[in-house]
Amino acid sequence: MTEQPAGEHVAPQIQAVVDDLVRLVETARTMPMSASVLVHRGEAMTLLDELRDALPEQLAQADEALAEAESVLADARRSAEEILTTARARAIELVQSEQVVAQAQARAREIVAQAERTAGALRADADDYCDGRLADLEVDLGKALVQVQAGRAKLADRLAGRSGDRSGDGSPGGTSGHV
């Protein structure tokens, strides 16, 4: 529906009748010493009948235009409400999605912290185990060292005993009957 300037929304037929009535009054003979005029009754009644006949049709058209405008307005309101409902639903989805992401991030941080604690405990256990094994090895190596030292000491005694035998037997080869 296009807007029309004031006065143009009245049907041309009604506008013409009103113009004729105005002209009838303006051109009517004035009463002396008064603001009243003499209007030809027949002409005035004919114009008023034309106006009366044209008005119902114009009122019906106006009612139609008003109903159409109300329908368009109702459609616009429905459409606006649908848009708002959709926007609200989308906003709720975004907030919930953001909450899910925040919860997932918090859970991920918890999992990482737990994994780091578990890894630290495993490292400590592995270090304790290695330290225990190295301590056992140290003891075993200490025993082996004692045995090696004892063996070398015996060998040194034997070697020292042989060199004492060699120097005292007077034989030129330095060998004794003990081998």
Q: Per-residue pLDDT tens for 27-38?
A: 888 888 888 888
Torsion over CA: 87, 89, 90, 96 (sign): positive
Q: Quick: pLDDT tens for 106-162.
A: 999 999 999 999 999 999 999 999 999 999 999 999 999 999 999 999 999 998 888
Confidence of residue 5 (pLDDT cuts 50, 70, 90): very low
Which residues have CB under 8 Å from 70's CB, separation 6+?
none
CA separation for the pair 60, 66 (Å, rounded): 10
Which residues have CB under 8 Å from 36's CB, separation 6+?
30
- SS3 state at 30: strand
Put residue 3 in one of left, alpha, beta given phi > 0 → left and psi -120 to 50 → alpha: beta
CA separation for the pair 154, 176 (Å, rounded): 20
Spell out the domain ranges in the chain: 12-121
**What is this structure's pTM?**
0.36
Look at residue 9 and tell me whether its pLDDT is greater than 60. Answer: no
Q: What is the pLDDT, as a whole number, of residue 48?
A: 86
Q: What is the pLDDT, as a whole number, of residue 3?
A: 46
CA separation for the pair 35, 41 (Å, rounded): 18
Q: What is the pLDDT, as a whole number, of residue 63?
A: 87
How many percent of the chain have pLDDT more than 90? 43
